[in-house]
């Protein structure tokens, strides 16, 4: 029979100092939270805007979780450390389990997981809606081949281009395919990426909202000159777009 | 755990005489036989195979068969089939032969032979793992050197792509075996109180298959490289040059090796645990390693099949992945990721459970919440089979499955969280004896937090649209596989080094190397996260000017890793040769492997132990800090002594 002590030393864990470290770390991580979206650059479509918001929120939500792990690590490494080259003379206390901590931990991670899921599924929903807008989208056929992109506008007399031109504010539907191997069609600042598969056509839609010149890249290793498989997307005003359709030589680079 | 005491195998009436061919076989005869058979196969196939009209399939067929012939010839020459052949001839191995095969009285030679002793196999795995890391690490340095300046022509794009592919596959193979190979073989059988593995010959076979696969893989360097990345997506892989043939033969060989090893480790852990070692008294390392190798048994055949189909495409123009004749590139990517996602947990689980074994020893506390640990391992192993399509969110294949796969992927954070809980709970208020092994726990928890959280971004379908195929992904999985996996393996090596080599790992230089590598690691991959967010695609030889700063930072970090790893390696080699001699139980640990003498004798235990409680009872039931009062009582019924005897 072990003697029952009222409140042994190990029952008084250093909750307060760990909370302080946790709060400081959480604050630091929250200050860091906007940085990833900044690195991703100016969003040029609602899709990309949403992605950047999600990234910022995910960073913010995970800040207290990471801070908790690191706070315990830091405290343990400095305050619970046994110094010396010999093992400690006394053992630690025999903590086998703690049902309350287990339950809280499981529920906590479950709730966080649920938040992520709902977030993700809710954000997917409008994307699907965007695919069926009231306005008829502009269709662009995208073809990847080693190592270049080419664009065809089937509604405009199959006009061809090696640069992508899009009118601002209008929904565009891309029909993406490949002539040889798998490529990945990536409109960086528009937040669109879909693979170009040989023998298949994949679809992506986007509504550019920012006039400017942005990158088109290949995001899937496709052979020797994969690095150079890039071109430009020009998001232009409706008038400029129509002008380009009529006089390609003047505006295409 | 019942064992028939009466079923002694009947020996053939006339056992073969001691001596014979098997005593002359070793790695060198293996190499000679492999080269001979490969040359003969090359000669026969290249002079008899027809050249098809449909393309250059003949070269590929010849290459594949030649490389397969090397593997088969090598195994014959090293003596892998001595046992079965003798059995077929009705001259089964005598007890003396078995002892010879186990390496009795062979000295250092036993490391160069088809030796069945699990401790020899463990050491062989340790050495080959380090060789693989050295090759893969050198390639990583070359890759980072090319990325220092934009437009760098340190290597040309073809060579660069090849380096990326070979670096990838070498590191994947090395990390898969880095814990379950050396420690799963050397330590696990002793930890459960067994004399050897269930199938000692299969154990040796698994190592020598891996050994035979390494030159095949490296031959890719001269056969035109692996230009596809290690994921070898079809149809790019159909198009690639003959390095791809070397790649697929490597994968098939390696898959057989892991299959044999996984089956063996699983059977050993299920059948050979000491008397009294119920599942709730079995060390957590055994759970995690078995979960990992059992997961591999399900996962790796997918890759093996994918590669056999690729071999038929390349060698005969079968067209499994060729859309123009009815095949599909998505068939390949599905098969690949059916392996690819379980595989990351095959790598992670043993590393994490090794640290779960280490933490109680250095905090002098029981493992916190054994139940959580088991639940976490089981949850991860189960869920990881159903998350593969998150690698294909943007592939265009079945967009309708995006939602369900997002659910399974994010659910896996719950069992992963339990593993964090176990490690943190064990550290909680423990008296941390800050030696090298437990330092890995801190490094792992730091890195794995980052690796885990960045995985959450990628699990979200819209975010993945921006990040898929970018350097962000590369940084993420390096944080999990290297930051968590390799870190855990280094901790495991520091922990079991005294038992395996009989000497202590030099603490000072080991720790310096370890922490320099950790700092370099974080610098490298933080820089890589930044360039990934800024939209640098992965696997690009020339990322362009916009990512210059981040890439420079990453390359500086990478050289720092190299510095740290070389220091660690130096400490390792020095300690192995001339380190302080270790006692049988230098850490005061309680698991069974520390209750055997060092060096561990051939059959591990003079008398098999009987287990009466679990191994984490620090400070309970009057166990002192010396930790040398193991929860076992010596003495076992005589029939137990026979179990597992070679």
Closest chain B residue to the Cα of A119, Cα to Cα: B460
* pLDDT for position B625: 43
Closest chain B residue to the Cα of A227, Cα to Cα: B540
Sign of CA dihedral A159, A162, A168, A169: positive
Same domain, B45 and B194: no
Residue showing tokens 């220091």: B567
Would you call A108 exposed, middle or buried from its count of C-beta atoms within 10 A (0-12, 13-18, 19+)?
middle
**Helix/strand/coil percent split, chain B, to 5:** 70, 0, 30
* pLDDT for position A10: 54
Tokens read off for B471: 């350097």
Whether residue A184 contacts residue A193, with contact meaning beta carbons closer than 8 Å, is answered with yes
The domain boundary residue, chosen from B578, B604, B632: B578
Question: For the whole model, what pTM was predicted?
Answer: 0.91
Whether residue B568 contacts residue B510, with contact meaning beta carbons closer than 8 Å, is answered with yes
The closest CB to that of A218, out of B229, B425, B537, belongs to: B537
What is the distance between the alpha carbons of residues A148 and A150, in angstroms, rounded to a whole number? 7
Interface test mutation site (partner B, options A68, A220, A228, A231, max chain B beta carbons within 10 A) = A220
Tokens read off for B635: 């003495």
Considering only CA atoms, which of B149, B170, B327, B146 is closest in space to residue B234? Answer: B327
Burial letters for B31-44: b for 16+ Cβ neighbours within 10 Å, e otherwise? bebbeebbeebbee
Model confidence band, residue B93 (pLDDT cutoffs 50, 70, 90): confident
* pLDDT for position A128: 52
Closest chain A residue to the Cα of B396, Cα to Cα: A202
Whether residue A207 contacts residue A49, with contact meaning beta carbons closer than 8 Å, is answered with no
Q: What is the CATH number of the domain that holds B126?
A: 1.20.210.10
User: Which residues from chain A sit within 8 angstroms of residue B410, using beta carbons?
Assistant: 113, 116-117, 120
DSSP designation for B11: P
| Residue B437 scores a pLDDT above 80 | yes
Half-sphere exposure of B176 (CA within 13 A, CB side): 28
| A87: closest CA of chain B, how far (Å) | 6
Q: What are phi and psi of B530, to 5 degrees?
A: -65, -50
| Residue B8 scores a pLDDT above 50 | no
Once rounded to an integer, what is the mean pLDDT over residues A177-197? 94
User: Which residues from chain A sit within 8 angstroms of residue B449, using beta carbons?
Assistant: 65-66, 69-70
- Pairing type for strands B432-433 and A81-82 reads parallel
Whether residue B454 contacts residue B480, with contact meaning beta carbons closer than 8 Å, is answered with no
What is the distance between the alpha carbons of residues B543 and B150, in angstroms, rounded to a whole number? 7
| B397: closest CA of chain A, how far (Å) | 8
Q: Which residues contact B38 (CB under 8 A, 6 or more apart)?
A: B66, B67, B69, B70, B73
| B572: closest CA of chain A, how far (Å) | 19
Beta strands in B146-228 (DSSP E): none
What is the distance between the alpha carbons of residues B241 and B249, in angstroms, rounded to a whole number? 14
What is the distance between the alpha carbons of residues B403 and B414, in angstroms, rounded to a whole number? 18
Kind and range of the H or E run holding B161 = helix B157-177
Residue B4 resides in a domain: no
> In this complex, do B413 and A95 lie within 8 Å of one another by their Cβ atoms?
no
Question: Mean pLDDT for chain A?
Answer: 87
The closest CB to that of B410, out of A47, A113, A215, belongs to: A113
> In this complex, do B425 and A186 lie within 8 Å of one another by their Cβ atoms?
no
Residue B467 resides in a domain: yes
| A128: closest CA of chain B, how far (Å) | 10
| Residue B640 scores a pLDDT above 80 | no
Whether residue A144 contacts residue A196, with contact meaning beta carbons closer than 8 Å, is answered with yes
Residue B516 resides in a domain: yes
Q: What percentage of chain B exceeds 90 in pLDDT?
A: 74
Would you call B400 exposed, middle or buried from its count of C-beta atoms within 10 A (0-12, 13-18, 19+)?
exposed
Residue B271 resides in a domain: yes
The CATH classification number of A138-251 equals 2.60.40.420
Same domain, B68 and B159: no
> In this complex, do B429 and A180 lie within 8 Å of one another by their Cβ atoms?
no
> In this complex, do A76 and B425 lie within 8 Å of one another by their Cβ atoms?
no
* pLDDT for position B309: 95
Closest chain A residue to the Cα of B533, Cα to Cα: A40
> In this complex, do A117 and B364 lie within 8 Å of one another by their Cβ atoms?
no
| Residue B14 scores a pLDDT above 50 | no
Whether residue B364 contacts residue B618, with contact meaning beta carbons closer than 8 Å, is answered with yes
Alpha helices in B428-470 (DSSP H): 436-459, 461-467
Considering only CA atoms, which of B258, B245, B331 is closest in space to residue B295? Answer: B258
| Full DSSP string of B246-293 | HHHHHHHHHHHHHHHHHHHHHHHHHH-PPBT--GGGS-HHHHHHHHHH
Residue B625 resides in a domain: no
Residue B588 resides in a domain: no
The domain boundary residue, chosen from B530, B551, B578: B578
> In this complex, do B421 and A69 lie within 8 Å of one another by their Cβ atoms?
no
Reply yes or no: is the peptide bond before residue A163 cis, omega within 30 of 0: no
* pLDDT for position A86: 78
| A160: closest CA of chain B, how far (Å) | 24
pLDDT in tens, B287-297: 999 999 999 99
Question: Mean pLDDT for chain B?
Answer: 89
Half-sphere exposure of A220 (CA within 13 A, CB side): 29
Q: What are phi and psi of A217, to 5 degrees?
A: -130, 170
Stated length of chain A:
253
What is the distance between the alpha carbons of residues B188 and B118, in angstroms, rounded to a whole number? 9
CB pairs under 8 A between A and B: 281
* pLDDT for position B13: 43
Tokens read off for B554: 């990453």
Tokens read off for B12: 């053939």
Interface test mutation site (partner A, options B460, B487, B541, max chain A beta carbons within 10 A) = B460
The domain boundary residue, chosen from B525, B548, B578: B578
Once rounded to an integer, what is the mean pLDDT over residues B558-572? 97
| B308: closest CA of chain A, how far (Å) | 20
Closest chain B residue to the Cα of A50, Cα to Cα: B462
Tokens read off for B334: 């599905």
Find the range with the poorest average confidence among A119-128, B12-21, B216-225, B489-498. B12-21
| Residue A8 scores a pLDDT above 70 | no
The closest CB to that of A70, out of B328, B369, B446, belongs to: B446
User: Which residues from chain B sit within 8 angstroms of residue A92, using beta carbons?
Assistant: 363-365, 429-431, 618-619
User: Which residues from chain A sit within 8 angstroms of residue B227, using beta carbons?
Assistant: 223-224
User: Which residues from chain B sit within 8 angstroms of residue A206, using beta carbons?
Assistant: none
Q: What are phi and psi of B49, to 5 degrees?
A: -70, 140
User: Which residues from chain B sit within 8 angstroms of residue A75, using beta carbons?
Assistant: none
Once rounded to an integer, what is the mean pLDDT over residues A158-184? 92
Dihedral of CA atoms B49, B55, B60, B62 in degrees, nearest 10, equals 10
Once rounded to an integer, what is the mean pLDDT over residues B506-529? 96
Q: Which residues contact A38 (CB under 8 A, 6 or more apart)?
A: none
Q: What is the ipTM of this complex?
A: 0.92
Whether residue A174 contacts residue B447, with contact meaning beta carbons closer than 8 Å, is answered with no
pLDDT in tens, B143-195: 999 999 887 788 888 999 999 999 999 999 999 999 999 999 999 999 999 99
Same domain, B206 and B73: no
pLDDT in tens, A20-36: 999 999 999 999 999 99
User: Which residues from chain B sit within 8 angstroms of residue A117, using beta carbons?
Assistant: 406-407, 410
Residue B425 resides in a domain: yes
User: Which residues from chain B sit within 8 angstroms of residue A101, using beta carbons?
Assistant: 421, 425
pLDDT in tens, B15-52: 445 557 888 899 999 999 999 999 999 999 999 888 77
User: Which residues from chain A sit within 8 angstroms of residue B411, using beta carbons?
Assistant: 113
> In this complex, do A197 and B330 lie within 8 Å of one another by their Cβ atoms?
yes
* pLDDT for position B638: 36
* Ranges of each domain in chain A: 13-80+101-130, 138-251
What is the distance between the alpha carbons of residues B496 and B514, in angstroms, rounded to a whole number? 16
Whether residue B314 contacts residue B52, with contact meaning beta carbons closer than 8 Å, is answered with no
Q: Which residues contact B582 (CB under 8 A, 6 or more apart)?
A: B498, B499, B501, B502, B503, B504, B598
| A109: closest CA of chain B, how far (Å) | 6
Tokens read off for A168: 């601002």
Boundaries of domain holding B500: 116-578
Model confidence band, residue A132 (pLDDT cutoffs 50, 70, 90): low
Considering only CA atoms, which of B237, B394, B322, B323 is closest in space to residue A199? Answer: B323
Same domain, B215 and B362: yes
Same domain, B168 and B99: no
Q: What angle is formed at CA A127 by the lines to CA A125 and CA A130, rounded to 5 degrees?
A: 120
> In this complex, do B420 and A113 lie within 8 Å of one another by their Cβ atoms?
no
Alpha helices in B479-598 (DSSP H): 487-501, 507-533, 548-578
* pLDDT for position B151: 79
User: Which residues from chain B sit within 8 angstroms of residue A202, using beta carbons?
Assistant: 395-396
Tokens read off for A102: 């287990």
| Residue B198 scores a pLDDT above 70 | yes
Report the 10 Å Cβ neighbour count for B315. Answer: 21
What is the distance between the alpha carbons of residues A213 and A44, in angstroms, rounded to a whole number? 10
What is the distance between the alpha carbons of residues A186 and A196, in angstroms, rounded to a whole number? 10
Residue B223 resides in a domain: yes
DSSP designation for A154: G
Count the domains in chain B.
2
pLDDT in tens, A44-92: 999 999 999 999 999 999 999 999 999 999 999 998 888 877 777 777 7
Closest chain A residue to the Cα of B623, Cα to Cα: A91
| B433: closest CA of chain A, how far (Å) | 5
């Amino acid at each position: 029979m072990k003697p029952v002590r009222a409140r042994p030393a190990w029952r008084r864990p250093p909750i307060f100092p760990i909370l302080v470290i946790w709060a400081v770390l959480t604050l630091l991580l929250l200050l860091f939270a906007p940085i990833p979206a900044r690195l991703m650059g100016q969003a040029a479509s609602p899709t990309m805007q949403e992605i950047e918001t999600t990234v910022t929120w995910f960073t913010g939500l995970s800040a207290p979780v990471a801070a908790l792990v690191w706070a315990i690590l830091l405290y343990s490494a400095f305050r619970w450390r046994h110094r010396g080259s010999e093992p400690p003379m006394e053992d630690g206390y025999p903590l086998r389990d703690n049902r309350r901590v287990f339950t809280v931990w499981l529920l906590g991670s479950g709730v966080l997981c649920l938040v992520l899921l709902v977030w993700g599924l809710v954000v997917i929903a409008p994307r699907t809606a965007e695919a069926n807008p009231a306005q008829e989208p502009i269709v662009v056929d995208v073809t990847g081949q080693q190592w270049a992109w080419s664009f065809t506008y089937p509604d405009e007399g199959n006009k061809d281009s090696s640069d992508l031109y899009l009118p601002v504010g209008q929904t565009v539907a891309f029909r993406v395919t490949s002539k040889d191997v798998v490529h990945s069609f990536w409109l960086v600042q528009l937040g669109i990426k879909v693979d170009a598969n040989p023998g298949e056509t994949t679809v992506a839609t986007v509504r550019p909202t920012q006039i400017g010149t942005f990158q088109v890249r290949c995001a899937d290793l496709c052979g020797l000159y994969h690095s150079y498989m890039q071109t430009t997307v020009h998001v232009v005003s409706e008038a400029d777009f129509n002008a380009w359709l009529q006089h390609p030589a003047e505006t295409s680079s | 755990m019942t064992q028939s005491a009466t079923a002694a195998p009947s020996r053939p009436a006339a056992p073969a005489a001691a001596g014979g061919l098997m005593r002359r076989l070793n790695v060198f005869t293996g190499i000679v036989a492999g080269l001979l058979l490969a040359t003969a196969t090359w000669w026969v196939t290249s002079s008899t195979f027809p050249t098809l009209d449909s393309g250059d399939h003949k070269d590929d067929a010849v290459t594949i068969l030649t490389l397969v012939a090397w593997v088969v010839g090598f195994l014959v020459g090293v003596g892998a089939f001595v046992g079965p052949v003798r059995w077929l001839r009705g001259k089964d191995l005598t007890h003396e032969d078995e002892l010879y095969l186990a390496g009795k009285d062979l000295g250092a030679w036993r490391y160069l032979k088809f030796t069945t002793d699990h401790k020899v196999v463990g050491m062989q795995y340790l050495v080959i793992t380090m060789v693989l890391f050295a090759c893969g690490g050198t390639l990583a340095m070359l890759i980072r050197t090319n990325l220092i300046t934009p437009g760098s022509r340190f290597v040309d794009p073809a060579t660069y792509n090849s380096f990326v592919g070979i670096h990838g596959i070498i590191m994947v193979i090395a990390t898969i075996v880095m814990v379950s190979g050396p420690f799963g073989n050397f330590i696990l059988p002793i930890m459960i109180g067994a004399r050897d593995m269930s199938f000692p010959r299969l154990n040796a076979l698994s190592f020598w298959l891996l050994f035979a696969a390494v030159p095949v893989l490296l031959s890719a360097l001269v056969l035109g490289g692996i230009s596809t990345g290690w994921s070898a997506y079809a149809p790019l892989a159909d198009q690639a040059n003959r390095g791809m043939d070397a790649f697929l033969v490597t994968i098939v060989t390696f898959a057989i090796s892991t299959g044999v090893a996984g089956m063996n480790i699983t059977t050993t852990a299920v059948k050979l645990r000491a008397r009294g070692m119920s599942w709730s008294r079995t060390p957590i390392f055994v759970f995690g390693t078995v979960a990992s190798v059992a997961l591999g048994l399900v996962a790796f055949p997918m890759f093996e099949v994918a590669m056999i189909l690729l071999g038929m495409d390349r060698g005969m123009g079968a067209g499994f992945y060729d859309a123009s004749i009815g095949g599909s590139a998505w068939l390949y990517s599905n098969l690949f990721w059916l392996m690819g996602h379980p595989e990351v947990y095959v790598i992670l689980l043993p590393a994490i459970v090794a640290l779960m074994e280490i933490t109680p020893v250095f905090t002098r506390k029981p493992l916190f919440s054994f139940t959580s640990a088991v639940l976490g391992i089981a949850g991860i192993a189960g869920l990881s089979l159903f998350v593969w399509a998150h690698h294909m969110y943007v592939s265009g294949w079945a967009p309708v499955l995006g939602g369900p796969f997002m659910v399974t992927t994010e659910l896996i954070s719950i069992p992963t969280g339990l593993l964090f809980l176990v490690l943190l709970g064990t550290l909680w208020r423990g008296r941390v004896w800050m030696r090298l092994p437990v330092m890995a726990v801190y490094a792992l928890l730091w890195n794995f937090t980052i690796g885990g959280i960045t995985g959450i971004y990628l699990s979200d379908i819209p975010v993945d649209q921006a990040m898929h195929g970018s350097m962000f992904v590369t940084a993420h999985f390096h944080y999990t596989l290297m930051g968590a996996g390799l870190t855990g393996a280094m901790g495991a090596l520091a922990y079991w080094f005294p038992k395996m080599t009989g000497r202590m790992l030099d603490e000072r230089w080991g720790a310096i190397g370890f922490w320099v590598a950790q700092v370099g690691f974080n610098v490298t991959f933080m820089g890589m996260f930044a360039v990934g967010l800024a939209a640098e695609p992965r696997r690009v030889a020339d990322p362009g000017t916009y990512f210059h700063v981040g890439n420079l930072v990453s390359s500086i970090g990478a050289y720092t890793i190299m510095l740290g790893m070389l220091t660690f390696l130096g400490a390792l080699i020095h300690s192995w040769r001339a380190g302080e001699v270790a006692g049988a139980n230098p850490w005061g640990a309680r698991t069974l492997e520390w209750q055997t003498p060092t060096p561990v004798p051939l059959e591990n235990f003079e008398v098999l132990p009987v287990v009466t409680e679990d191994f984490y009872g620090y400070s309970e039931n009057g166990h002192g800090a010396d930790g040398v009062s193991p929860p076992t009582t010596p003495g076992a019924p005589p029939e137990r002594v026979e179990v597992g005897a070679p």
